[in-house]
Amino acid sequence: MVQAWYMDDALGDPRQPHRPDPDRPVGLEQLRRLGVLYWKLDADKYENDPELEKIRRERNYSWMDIITICKDTLPNYEEKIKMFYEEHLHLDDEIRYILDGSGYFDVRDKEDKWIRIFMEKGDMITLPAGIYHRFTVDEKNYAKAMRLFVGEPVWTAYNRPADHFEARGQYVKFLAQTA
């Protein structure tokens, strides 16, 4: 099951867990109220997984590729890691399925506080369009992930502030309705 918690305010290495003391866990229902969806799948059979195929069909995730985030395989690794960790939003949902390794997605809650979501092998997440978020690998410096899209991929990230985009306005409206 996915682990999520409110982050501490420490400015140290983003690849560390940043769990506060005392711990402030966040459950799946709270993530759902932010529009974040989660599935636990069998990553060892991702190529022929009927459950993954069902999710892709139901949610129209028609495009996919696989990215390996590690120093040995990702060109400009350090630059990319910094870019992934900049707070940003997308105009489309961001769908990631961890096939191996691990990392963290950080998302903003309704009060603009960071929630850290630990992602490891078998975890699949959808972040809604318009949500401010960021990603980093953990201290193992390795994650292999499937990236899924509805239609052709759009890779554009809009760093904060990006409140003028329609996707952000729709997301803020969604948050107000789930209050």
Return binding residues: 88, 90, 94, 133
CA atoms within 13 A on the CB side of 88: 18
User: Could you give the CA distance from residue 39 to residue 120 in angstroms, rounded to a whole number?
Assistant: 12
User: Could you give the CA distance from residue 144 to residue 58 in angstroms, rounded to a whole number?
Assistant: 24
Annotated binding site for Fe(2+): 88, 90, 94, 133
The neighbour count for residue 100, using CB atoms within 10 Å, is 15
User: Could you give the CA distance from residue 40 to residue 51 in angstroms, rounded to a whole number?
Assistant: 10
User: Could you give the CA distance from residue 84 to residue 15 in angstroms, rounded to a whole number?
Assistant: 12
Annotated binding site for Ni(2+): 88, 90, 94, 133
- Euclidean distance between the first and final Cα of the chain, in Å? 25
